[in-house]
Chain A
Amino acid sequence: MSSLPRTSLERRPTAGAEAPIPAVHVLGTARLLAGATGSSAVGYAEHLALPGTLPQWRLDTLIAATRTVGLLGRGGAAFPVAIKLASLRTGRHNRVLVNGSESEPASWKDRTLMRCAPHRVLDGAILVAHALGTRKITIAVHDVVSARVLQAAVRERVDARRIRVAISDGGFVAGEVQALVNGLAGRPPVPNGRRTLPVDKGLDGRPTFASNVETFAQLGVLARLGPGGFRGAGSPEEPGTTLVTLVGDVPRAGVAEIPTGTPLRALVGASSSPVLLGGYHGTWVNDLDLYLDRPELRAHGISLGAGVLAVLPHDTCPVGEVARVARWLSLESAGQCGPCIFGLASIADDLERLTAGRPVDLSRLHRRLGLVEGRGACSHPDGASRFVATALQAFAEHVERHGDRRPCGLPVRGVLPLPRGGAR
């Protein structure tokens, strides 16, 4: 047996993923980002000095605690963590998969967390692995900077020796958990045709607890503070804090840790423009009297998704901004499913024509948006359709200005970030 840490860097990183993190803000109490400066990672000694100590919980204790605080997954689907844990039985066959691939182009919260507070992530992974009776932990990331920070953190502590940090290639859809499992196994990083859940068949074909990096960091905080302490911040429905990425015409652009239940207006300022909630699979809303608490948003039919909040400034054409993202989404299709390949391309064509002031059959566009929903191996077409359909609704007045077969006159500045500068 080698005494070297069992950490491996695998595969080439995604190009352009080495960019520095944006500004980091904390509203209220810092938990995940306690001690973080934004410029360097919180070291292990500093991490240990933060409130609480990491306990070794049995699976039933962990399930009870996550149920008490109503912890929801932070990758986008907001699935209850207690239910996911309860579908696994303790045993060495289990695997733990920490998804840090952050494939949403506008999101920076996961990379910010991994780079500023890697020990928060490791705490959660070690806690879950212990409860599940396994030592097999894989942290999957798409960028080399986060991987290096995590590896350095792994070397700082004896309880993290068996953690593997894997860098995987891939675009938007490669971060979807089935695609990620396939990629880590050396198969093409695309979703499966027939849905399989990681808890049934994940890494190495074994039952796997897979979740987003922030979920693990929240689990670490929960274990150190206990359910009572964890409930000391945030809303009654979904206690604690959450990470968001603020983009565009907002008072404090960057990544922020906020208490759940924070009013949307506290983050977007005096603007009355529509806000994108979630990301490029998300929802454009006109109603700004919302509170950022996942159960509350769900009651309005909205998902906080990957935690992106974006506001467009008044000097860019929203139709053109949406068209640009729609084209990128169509090119990010894994190319497996016909309705996604042809549907998203047709939708992007329509939006580009609309931007340029060329004639577009809007009723056919709406029909196409409905047609791609639920007709893919993953939810990429559904999310892309929601992004476009809600934008057309939220910017209805502006869309009408394009209806006279003329462009609106505003430039398309490309405020909504895309990898490598965009689709074309």
Chain B
Amino acid sequence: MSGPHLRVDWTRCDGHGLCAPMWPERISLDEWGFPVVAPEPLDDDELPFARRTTGVCPKLALWIDEGR
């Protein structure tokens, strides 16, 4: 659980699918159009791009869990 993670608030996500083409190395879509996010923590140098990616989600469902 250590380190920041890209997470989905599943109660908000409606499967708009804008996140996957933004960062295909980390996010793909399942057969119903919902994101499958790679489980590995985010490296420090990935954080700026992770923030840009969360910014495209129209439902603010994609978020960065800073970890505790």
The chain A residues found within 8 Å of chain B, CB to CB, are 190-194, 336-340, 342-343, 346, 368, 371, 375-377
Contacts and interface: CB of A to CB of B under 8 A. Distances in A.
A374 to B, nearest CB: 8
Of residues A191, A193, A194, A338, which shows the largest number of chain B Cβ atoms within 10 Å of its Cβ? Answer: A338
Interface residues of B, number: 15
Question: In terms of DSSP, what is the predominant structure of the interface of chain B?
Answer: loop
A346 B32 CA distance: 10
Contact of B11 (A337, A346, A368, A371): A337
Nearest to B39: A374
B11 A339 contact: no
Given A193-B9, A375-B10, A338 B36 contact: no
Interface of B: 8-15, 30-34, 36, 63
| Interface SS majority for chain A | loop
B66 to A, nearest CB: 12
Contacts of A346: 31-32
Nearest to A371: B30
A239 B33 CA distance: 48
A193 B61 CA distance: 9
30 contacts: A192-B11, A193-B9, A193-B10, A193-B11, A193-B12, A194-B9, A194-B63, A336-B11, A337-B10, A338-B10, A338-B33, A338-B34, A339-B10, A339-B30, A339-B32, A339-B34, A340-B10, A342-B34, A343-B30, A343-B32, A346-B31, A346-B32, A368-B31, A371-B30, A371-B31, A375-B8, A375-B34, A376-B10, A377-B9, A377-B10
A342 B32 CA distance: 7
A32 to B, nearest CB: 35
Contacts of B32: 338-339, 342-343, 346
A221 B9 CA distance: 40
A336 B10 contact: yes
